Copies of this chain bind each other. A is one copy, B any other.
Amino acid sequence: MKNYLKNSHFIDKVKQNVKVTGARLADRHLNLAVTGLSGSGKTAFITSLVNQLLEANDSAELPFFSVVREERLYGVKREAQPNLSLRRFEYERAMQALDAQPACWPESTTGISQVRLHIRYKKNRGLSRYFSEDALLILDITDYPGEWLLDLPLLEMDFAQWSQHCDQELLSPERMQLAGEFVTLRDSLDLTAKGDELALKHIASVYTEYLNQCRSAGFQLLQPGRFILPGELAGAPVLDFFPLSDVQVQQTSQRGAVKGSNQNLLHKRYEHYQEQVVKPFYTQHFKRFDRQVVLVDCLSALNNGRAHFNDLQRALNWLLTSFEYGKSNILSRLFDPKIDKLIFAASKADHVTPDQQSNLVKLLDSMLHNARKQMQFDGVATESTAIAAIRASQAGKAVHQGEDIQILQGTDAQGTPIRMFPGDVPAKCPGDNFWLTQGFDFPRFAPPQRLEQQALPHIRMDRVLEFILGDKIR
């Protein structure tokens, strides 16, 4: 009895301490950023993530999500988002599209949007599990265009360096044929002449048209990112610049820019873009992110052929420079961010047969490693995986030349059933010779017709949830 009292007193003290410490650590709030290169399925990903959490205790299948497996999740609710000036992520509209007859993929978002969830759970670590202490994790998910992440390296480049990078991209034959009059117009511009706003505006509009053409053709590494989604900057002079050619860069580096000249206007606009467009995004939003998901559509890049696949790899390389350990880590130096986990997810894993999914992860890994030789991040845990946020196909079997092979079954956009073997996924980046002899043709499936009140079917969203949230809801 005496012992019991003593213990109880001790435990009360500990309990108090735990509460104080818990509040002090402020471990109750997690800012998750989700981005992806164009067409990678950001909207489907966030819709499914919210849906899995809302349905976690009911119809969702999340065996690898520990808080669910251990039956410690009380419930998840959507709450009013913290930043009232950001677009609300339209979860309900996305679900409406998926619930339509026939089901449609949700419309993709433009710009930045936000959703907040309250996750109530029972603690399961340290002493607190003896007291069945309830806890709340506030999860803020921010959705932003991958183009903005691709703009980050600009902060460390001057106009000449950036021009050289863009000009190199432009010189590939696949891009050059989309450039229209741009090269001719740019090369004939007299940089020393008095600034001609209308001429610069015209050349910039031709350059923007080239970027839009590249985007339609499936290229990812598009610079500057805001030219494609200008928003309220449409028509503003800050978007009226473009990269110079190597020859022009050399000429201009030998003489200073005369005040008011074309060269001077281009310089000033590039610098304004760095300071007033790129930087504010990182200061206002990126600084607060704790974890980052980057979605990558490897399959469309394979379908589109060598130039597009290499472009995707260069785009990944380009954005990895922002996270890389060492002197080139712009993020740490300029913004002191808190990101401690980074996940690269190859999306649309339901568009290959189950036996090919491990290859899809290996391919993504190979792209990331080939890009940077080795990924060294300072205190950032990194994972790559392959997911289907909303599984649109079923795996089946068929006999082909006397052997059992895996096939996929789904429907196309017109509702016609598809049964097919979509082909093998290479386990590493295909070499140039490979492309000469072979192409890829992965299918496009319509979304599944959802059963009433059922969670969205998925592939590996539970592992993603565990990686993002697992350690925060123990």
By a beta-carbon cutoff of 8 Å, the part of chain A in contact with chain B is 78, 80-81, 84-88, 90, 92, 111, 113, 195, 197-198, 201, 231-238, 240, 260, 265, 268-269, 272, 276-277
Contact = CB atoms under 8 A, between A and B. Distances in A.
A303 to B, nearest CB: 32
A78 B237 CA distance: 14
Contacts of A240: 88
7 contacts: A80-B265, A84-B269, A84-B272, A85-B277, A86-B236, A231-B231, A231-B232
Most buried by B among A197, A198, A232, A238: A232
B272 A235 contact: no
A472 B392 CA distance: 70
Contact of A85 (B90, B197, B265, B276): B276
A106 to B, nearest CB: 14
A238 B84 CA distance: 5
A284 B323 CA distance: 34
A276 B84 contact: yes
Nearest to A260: B80
A235 B90 contact: yes
Contacts of A86: 236
B88 A237 contact: yes
Given A88-B201, A111-B232, A237 B80 contact: yes
Contacts of A269: 84
Given A85-B272, A85-B276, A276-B85, A197 B80 contact: yes
A237 to B, nearest CB: 5
Contacts of A80: 195, 197, 237, 260, 265
Nearest to A265: B80
A388 to B, nearest CB: 27
A203 to B, nearest CB: 15
A272 B269 CA distance: 32
A80 B201 CA distance: 11
Nearest to A113: B235
Given A80-B195, A197-B80, A235 B265 contact: no
A118 B81 CA distance: 47
Contacts of A236: 84-88
A274 B233 CA distance: 23
Contact of A87 (B198, B235, B272): B235
Contact of A81 (B84, B87, B237, B277): B237
